């Protein structure tokens, strides 16, 4: 998943990042002053079938699209990635190892049971103890959960965790009806009836065909929507077919427009494109444990040989921005004063000589067998050739890619991270020294980086954290565990009759205030 950024889009992204007015992000017609109207079924297309309806067992990105309409997290994100109240009305942190959440009153799960402090504690315990829980790592910093009163809970932390609130904006903060979870057990994976508190209720999931949700008539938030009667999700794996389905009116919303289609779709009056800046970070990990990239100078030779501007323009068609590091422009921690590494063939040559390969060297890049990755690989290959570096391309399916990465069986490997709202999620697990399998595929182990990373978790002050992440970015540009390529935009496309969509950079489509004209 990726996208690219035209100059205009880039300015918009900066606008988002800096908090400038956001009206420009909305598609023209969608901000028309018509009064929202109830009714209708919204037909949404995804690139793949969902995996499970249980947010605590979900390891697949696509599931979250549905979850954000039927479940609700304790806190949510605003357009600028700030944290705003969700099922928790407010929160306070008396000390770095304690987080007290005040819960909203009068919220009911779809099965009629009440949401309260006991329910919240049940959920945290479930995430921590359920054998199949995929959330364990995300809530690892939570030691225990106390019920303070009927509507407030206290999270006792093992260590300071500045990123915890941001983590609670997604699946780790989503509250499931304890009654449903206990009574339905594993069946919850297929049937989420009554399980959530969100603006929509789960109706049915006909595998390989559709997931249907309907309006929650007794939703706690009386402001705005939900307006839609129903939302029907459908998997359409082929991008071209998906787009054509939108153009021919078979669907109303598609989750992602390929960069190659953006220009054409923007010219089509039957389709409205919304550029949603993402949290993603697309890069290539370099294996520090084996030649040639165990030599720092050779890593730098590759980095200086790459022309990111050209890649972003030619491959991503500007549906993204050149990356200066792992933190996307949408984040408060993004440091605009650090430029992406610029192409400099003379420097590249010098580094080659320094690394003992004055006449260049050869290596293999492993990448996913999907069209835009192939295209990017071909362009990189051509750029490196100009610097005297020979790159072979090895195309693999994603299972092989992950296996090669985990086993450090690569020289350079594509890594496309969908991103997390807090910069911690884009950094710590990739650059912290770790034994065994981890997302630190490059195998980088650098005491200075380790110390910086630990510090970012302890410091609560945002400005101070931003400074730490800037320092980190500069070191990463020198040490190069990865060569950073692009922060993509993830454009979504709508039928013009879809109104009221608000793009949040996490890419999730929340339909509470969406209506059909």
Q: How far is the CB of 145 from other proteins (least distance, A)?
A: 19
- Pick 65 or 116: Cβ nearer other proteins: 65
Q: How far is the CB of 454 from other proteins (least distance, A)?
A: 16
Question: Are residues 295 and 355 in contact, defined by beta-carbon separation less than 8 angstroms?
Answer: yes
Residue count of the chain: 517
Q: What secondary structure does DSSP assign to 231-284, as a single string?
A: EEEEE---HHHHHHHHHTTS-SEES---HHHHHHHHH-TT-EEE--B---EEEE
Tell me the C-alpha distance between 284 and 220, whole Å. Answer: 45
- Pick 153 or 305: Cβ nearer other proteins: 305
Tell me the C-alpha distance between 28 and 43, whole Å. Answer: 21
Tell me the C-alpha distance between 200 and 198, whole Å. Answer: 5
* Of residues 365, 411, 410, the one with CA closest to residue 385: 365
- Pick 131 or 447: Cβ nearer other proteins: 131
- Pick 143 or 478: Cβ nearer other proteins: 143
Tell me the C-alpha distance between 193 and 184, whole Å. Answer: 10
Q: How far is the CB of 387 from other proteins (least distance, A)?
A: 15
The backbone torsions φ and ψ at residue 243, rounded to the nearest 5 degrees and listed phi first, read -65, -45
- Pick 406 or 448: Cβ nearer other proteins: 406
- What is the Rg, in whole angstroms, of the alpha carbon atoms belonging to the chain? 23
Tell me the C-alpha distance between 437 and 450, whole Å. Answer: 17
> What are the angstrom distances between the C-alpha of 466 and each of 81, 400, 424, 473, 475?
14, 36, 11, 10, 14
Q: How far is the CB of 372 from other proteins (least distance, A)?
A: 9
Q: How far is the CB of 106 from other proteins (least distance, A)?
A: 35
Query: Which single residue is written with the structure tokens 């605003």?
Result: 78
- Pick 152 or 416: Cβ nearer other proteins: 416
- Pick 109 or 431: Cβ nearer other proteins: 431
Provide the 3-class DSSP secondary structure of residue 23.
helix
Tell me the C-alpha distance between 274 and 256, whole Å. Answer: 10
Contacts with other proteins, residue ranges (CB under 8 A): 51-52, 59-61, 131-134, 136-137, 186, 189-190, 207-209, 234-242, 244-245, 247-248, 250, 258, 260-261, 264, 310, 313-315, 369-371, 374-375, 377-379, 381-382, 392-400, 402-404, 406, 417-418, 429, 436-439
- Pick 113 or 409: Cβ nearer other proteins: 409
Q: How far is the CB of 505 from other proteins (least distance, A)?
A: 17
Q: How far is the CB of 279 from other proteins (least distance, A)?
A: 12
Q: How far is the CB of 102 from other proteins (least distance, A)?
A: 30
Q: How far is the CB of 236 from other proteins (least distance, A)?
A: 5
Q: How far is the CB of 386 from other proteins (least distance, A)?
A: 11
> What are the angstrom distances between the C-alpha of 81 and each of 18, 31, 274, 507?
11, 21, 18, 11
- Pick 102 or 230: Cβ nearer other proteins: 230
- Pick 221 or 381: Cβ nearer other proteins: 381
Q: What secondary structure does DSSP assign to 83-131, as a single string?
A: EEESSEEEEEEEETTEEEEEEPSS-B-TTSPBP-HHHHHHHHHHHHH-T
H/E run at residue 44? strand 41-46
């Amino acid at each position: 998943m990726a996208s690219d950024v035209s100059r205009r889009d880039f300015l918009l992204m900066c606008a988002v990042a800096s908090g400038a007015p956001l009206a420009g992000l909305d598609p023209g017609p969608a901000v028309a002053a018509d009064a929202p109207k109830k009714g209708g079924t919204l037909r949404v297309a995804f690139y793949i079938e969902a995996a499970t309806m249980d947010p605590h067992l979900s390891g697949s990105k696509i599931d979250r699209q549905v979850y954000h309409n039927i479940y609700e997290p304790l806190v949510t994100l605003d357009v600028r990635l700030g944290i705003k109240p969700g099922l928790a009305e407010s929160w306070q942190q008396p000390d770095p190892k304690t987080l007290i959440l005040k819960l909203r009153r009068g919220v009911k799960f779809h099965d009629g049971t009440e949401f309260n402090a006991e329910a919240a504690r049940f959920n945290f315990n479930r995430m921590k103890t359920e054998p199949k829980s995929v959330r364990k790592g995300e809530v690892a910093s939570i030691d225990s959960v106390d019920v303070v009163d009927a509507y407030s809970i206290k999270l006792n932390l093992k260590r300071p965790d500045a990123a915890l609130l941001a983590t609670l904006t997604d699946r780790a903060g989503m509250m499931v009806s304890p009654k449903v979870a206990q009574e339905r057990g594993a069946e919850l994976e297929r049937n989420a009836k009554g399980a959530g508190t969100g603006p929509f209720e789960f109706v049915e999931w006909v595998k390989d065909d559709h997931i249907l949700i309907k309006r929650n008539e007794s939703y706690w938030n009386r402001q705005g929507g939900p307006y839609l009667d129903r939302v029907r999700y459908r998997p359409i794996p082929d991008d071209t077919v998906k787009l054509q389905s939108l153009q021919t009116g078979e669907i109303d919303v598609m989750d992602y427009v390929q960069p190659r289609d953006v220009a054409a779709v923007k010219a089509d009056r039957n389709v409205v494109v919304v550029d949603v800046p993402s949290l993603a970070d697309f890069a290539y990990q370099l294996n520090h444990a084996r030649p040639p990239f165990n030599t720092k100078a050779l890593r730098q030779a590759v980095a200086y040989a790459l022309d990111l501007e050209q890649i972003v323009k030619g491959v991503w068609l500007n549906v993204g921005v050149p990356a200066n590091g792992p933190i996307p422009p949408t984040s408060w921690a993004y440091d605009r004063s650090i430029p992406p590494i610029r192409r400099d063939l003379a420097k590249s040559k010098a580094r080659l000589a320094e690394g003992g390969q004055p006449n260049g060297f050869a290596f293999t890049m492993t990448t996913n067998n999907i069209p835009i990755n192939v295209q990017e690989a071909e362009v990189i290959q051509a750029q490196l050739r100009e610097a005297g570096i020979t790159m072979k391309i090895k195309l693999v399916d994603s299972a092989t890619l992950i296996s090669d990465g985990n086993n450090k069986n690569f020289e350079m490997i594509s890594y496309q991270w969908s991103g997390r709202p807090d910069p911690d999620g884009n950094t710590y697990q990739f650059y912290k020294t770790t034994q065994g399998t981890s997302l630190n595929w490059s195998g980088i182990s650098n005491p200075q980086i380790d110390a910086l990373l630990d510090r970012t978790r302890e410091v609560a002050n945002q400005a101070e954290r931003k400074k730490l992440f800037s320092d980190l970015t500069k070191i990463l540009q020198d040490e190069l565990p990865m060569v950073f390529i692009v922060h993509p935009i993830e454009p979504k496309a709508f039928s013009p009759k879809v109104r009221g969509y608000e793009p949040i950079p996490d890419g999730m489509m929340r339909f509470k205030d969406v209506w059909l004209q």
